[in-house]
């Protein structure tokens, strides 16, 4: 009877390890990350700085932080933003449309081992460029 | 026997508690903490722009290799800085050095790596 008691005590002491510390702590460790972007982010850029030096940098040339009456250019669809193609990941974009419910866009960024590149390269050698 | 069991239990609980407290900050947040203390750029300006210029790298990148002339010329350094959605104003870029006519190191070209945004670490 003593062994189950010891096991139960160990389980209780290990509970902080088994349970997540919080939703924000384990986020990003999941396979698919829910994006925080929404439609308002279409007109947003990404920035770095100023650090101690005071210099800043914008990731894209547009949109710039301008007054609302000034025209600007922007990427019209967040999943096509070039920085998303830099690494292998999955993302789901959720958007709430008033009176219409939620819509979801699932995006997967991967190369499948570049099999398409190999296939295209071999095709080029057969049909053209000789 | 009971004393030994209690001691073992206390030791196990102490070890588990130490591990749990060490996980208070996720590892992917440490580069951002380091980045607050250092500049994202070096002393040199990218000649076509006249300013230090950020080169976007994947947010999964952690390290970079810098090259230069001479013995023991290559070194590996961290890429701590990351683009975020915070716009802190246009900034006040200070005077920067131009790329030397005979560059000696890759950092003298004025291009510095900054990781692309990753949404769990966005403000």
Give this prediction's pTM.
Answer: 0.69
The residue in chain A having the minimum alpha-carbon distance to the alpha carbon of residue B85 is A46
Residue A12 belongs to some domain of the structure: no
Which region holds residue B50: left if phi is over 0, alpha if psi is between -120 and 50, else beta? left
Q: What are phi and psi of A33, to 5 degrees?
A: -100, 130
Residue A110 belongs to some domain of the structure: yes
- Containing domain of residue A98, as a range? 36-127
Beta bridge partners of B78: B63
- Residue from the list A10, A45, A49 with its beta carbon closest to the beta carbon of B40: A49
Per-residue pLDDT tens over the stretch B19-31:
555 556 778 888 8
Q: Which residue has the higher pLDDT, B7 or B76?
A: B76
**Chain B positions in Cβ-Cβ contact with residue A6 (cut-off 8 Å):** 5, 9
Per the CB < 8 Å rule, is B120 touching A51?
Answer: no
Residue A10 has pLDDT above 60, yes or no: no
Residue A45 belongs to some domain of the structure: yes
Residue B2 belongs to some domain of the structure: no
- Residue from the list A13, A52, A55 with its beta carbon closest to the beta carbon of B16: A13
Q: Measured between alpha carbons, how far is B61 from B113 in angstroms, rounded to an integer?
A: 10
Tally of domains within chain A: 1
The residue in chain A having the minimum alpha-carbon distance to the alpha carbon of residue B53 is A57
Per-residue pLDDT tens over the stretch A58-79:
898 888 777 778 877 888 888 8
Tally of domains within chain B: 1
CA angle A90, B58, A31 (to 5 degrees): 25
- Containing domain of residue B104, as a range? 26-121
Closest among B2, B85, B1, B77 to B40, alpha carbons compared? B77
- Residue from the list B24, B40, B90 with its beta carbon closest to the beta carbon of A48: B40
Looking only at Cα atoms, what is the longest distance across chain A? 82
Closest among B63, B30, B53, B49 to B107, alpha carbons compared? B53
**Chain A positions in Cβ-Cβ contact with residue B57 (cut-off 8 Å):** 86
């Amino acid at each position: 009877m003593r062994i189950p008691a010891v096991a139960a005590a160990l389980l209780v002491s290990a509970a902080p390890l088994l349970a997540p510390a919080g939703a924000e702590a384990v986020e990003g460790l999941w396979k698919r990350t829910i994006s925080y972007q929404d439609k308002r982010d279409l007109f947003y850029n990404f920035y770095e700085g100023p650090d101690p030096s005071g210099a800043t940098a914008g990731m894209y040339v547009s949109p710039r932080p301008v007054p609302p009456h000034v025209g600007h250019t922007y990427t019209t669809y967040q999943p096509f933003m070039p920085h998303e193609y830099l690494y292998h990941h999955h993302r789901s974009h959720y958007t709430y449309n008033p009176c219409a419910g939620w819509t979801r866009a699932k995006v997967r960024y991967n190369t499948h081992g570049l099999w398409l590149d190999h296939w295209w390269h071999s095709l080029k050698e057969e049909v053209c460029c000789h | 026997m009971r004393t030994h069991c209690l001691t073992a239990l206390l030791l196990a609980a102490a070890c588990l508690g130490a591990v749990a407290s060490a996980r208070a900050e996720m590892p992917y947040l440490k580069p951002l903490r380091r980045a607050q203390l250092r500049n994202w750029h070096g002393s040199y300006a990218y000649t076509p722009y006249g300013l230090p210029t950020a080169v976007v790298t994947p947010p999964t990148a952690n390290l970079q290799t810098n090259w230069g002339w001479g013995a023991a010329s290559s070194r590996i350094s961290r890429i701590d800085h990351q683009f975020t959605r915070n716009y802190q104003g246009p900034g006040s870029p200070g005077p920067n050095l131009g790329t030397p006519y005979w560059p000696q190191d890759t950092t003298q070209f004025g291009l510095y790596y900054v990781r692309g945004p990753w949404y769990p670490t966005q403000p």
